[in-house]
Amino acid sequence: MLQITNLSKNYGDFKAVNNISLEVEPGTIFAFLGTNGAGKTTTIRMMTGTLQPTSGTVYIGGYDIRKNPIEAKFLMGVIPDRPYIYGKLTGYEFLKFMSDLYQVPHKESNIRIGELLEHYGLTNWQNDLVDGYSHGMKQRLLMCASQVHRPKLLVVDEPMVGLDPKGARLLKDTFRAKAKEGMTIFMSTHSLSVAEEVADKLAIIKSGSIVAHGSLEDLYSQSREGTSGLENVFLDIIAEGKDEEASSSIQFPQEAGE
């Protein structure tokens, strides 16, 4: 569903993303982890077509995001790290605007919007201006907006920020249910407990390079003896000067044949 090959982004001499390759199969929940400034958002922006890579390719469902951006974007729902919502629209109007952008037929879009508002608990607020929504309500409205066109790939930069426990639970359950239906979910997150709970595959990016990649079991079994929990594994891998150590024990995408 998602194939990233030798993707790089340089700012002058600085390599924000350094030759990364990843492949994500359909129906997978994929967690993209890394410390602040590691290159997660830069990667996501290149994946979703809002930032030109210095080199490398990104294929979404077989479409090159640079050569066939429209086809690729129709397959994708995106929630960026700093989303913009038109506050002077009501929740319903915003979702209608988004479904028009994705050319969802009128009748279908009304049914779809109704379903999404219900699922994310916003039905009673659909006619209120978004300006009046709480942060968590805006997050849930963005989840609705990202799915009006039934995307096959959902890309979410930090999905849990600002959600209360009920909202976080709803999102995790939704991710699991959608993945079962075949949707692929790519999320960048600092919430290691969330990644541990829902992710099928994970990658850790450090200073622009992928330093670990695989299933939770791969990461656990390949970490130092006695290390337990994703948080400890993550800290072990990203610890200063541990790249070489990590590289000998962690599964790399190229080595895994992915």
Q: Which residues bind ligand ATP (CB under 6 A)?
A: 11, 16, 34, 36-42
Phi-psi region of 25 (alpha: psi -120 to 50; beta: other; left: phi over 0): beta
List of E strands, the chain: 2-11, 14-24, 29-34, 55-60, 63-64, 76-79, 153-157, 184-188, 201-206, 209-214
Closest approach, Cβ 207 to ligand ATP, in A, equals 9
Closest approach, Cβ 16 to ligand ATP, in A, equals 3
Closest approach, Cβ 38 to ligand ATP, in A, equals 4
Q: What is the DSSP letter of 164?
A: -
Nearer to ligand ATP, 11 or 84 (CB): 11
Closest approach, Cβ 8 to ligand ATP, in A, equals 12
Nearer to ligand ATP, 100 or 231 (CB): 231
Range 209-218 burial, b when 16+ CB lie within 10 A, else e? bbbbbbebeb
Closest approach, Cβ 53 to ligand ATP, in A, equals 13
Closest approach, Cβ 131 to ligand ATP, in A, equals 26
Nearer to ligand ATP, 130 or 185 (CB): 185
User: How far apart (Å, rounded) are the C-alpha atoms in residues 258 and 253?
Assistant: 5
Give the DSSP per-residue string, 194-245: HHHHH-SEEEEEETTEEEEEE-HHHHHHHSPTT--SHHHHHHHHHSTT-HHH
Among residues 123, 158, 122, 127, which one has the least CA distance to residue 138? 122
What does the radius of gyration of the chain's CA atoms come to, in whole angstroms? 19
Nearer to ligand ATP, 4 or 104 (CB): 4
Q: Is 31 helix (H, G, I), strand (E, B) or coil?
A: strand
Strand 55-60 and strand 201-206: pairing? unpaired
Give the helix, strand, coil percentages of the chain, each rounded to 5: 40, 25, 35
Closest approach, Cβ 63 to ligand ATP, in A, equals 23
User: How far apart (Å, rounded) are the C-alpha atoms in residues 163 and 170?
Assistant: 10
Nearer to ligand ATP, 45 or 140 (CB): 45
